[in-house]
Amino acid sequence: MAKNTQPKEDILITKIAKHTYTTDELNTLQKALALAVQDLRHKEEDKKAIMSELTSDINKLHAETGSLSDRINSGYEYRSMKCIVRFDFPSGTKDIIHPETGEIISTEKITDEDRQQYLI
Q: What is the pLDDT of residue 10?
A: 86
Are 79 and 99 a contacting pair, CB within 8 Å? Answer: no
The pLDDT tens digits of the residues spanning 19-51 come to 999 999 999 999 999 999 999 999 999 999 999
Instruction: Give the whole-angstrom CA distance, residue 56 versus residue 50.
Output: 10
Reply yes or no on whether the pLDDT at 5 is more than 80.
Answer: no
Residue 56: strand, helix, or coil = helix
The pLDDT tens digits of the residues spanning 65-105 come to 999 999 999 999 999 999 999 999 999 999 999 999 999 99
Exposed / middle / buried, residue 87 (Cβ in 10 Å: 0-12, 13-18, 19+): middle
Residue-averaged pLDDT of the chain = 92
Q: What is the pLDDT of residue 24?
A: 97
Q: Which residue has the higher pLDDT, 120 or 19?
A: 19
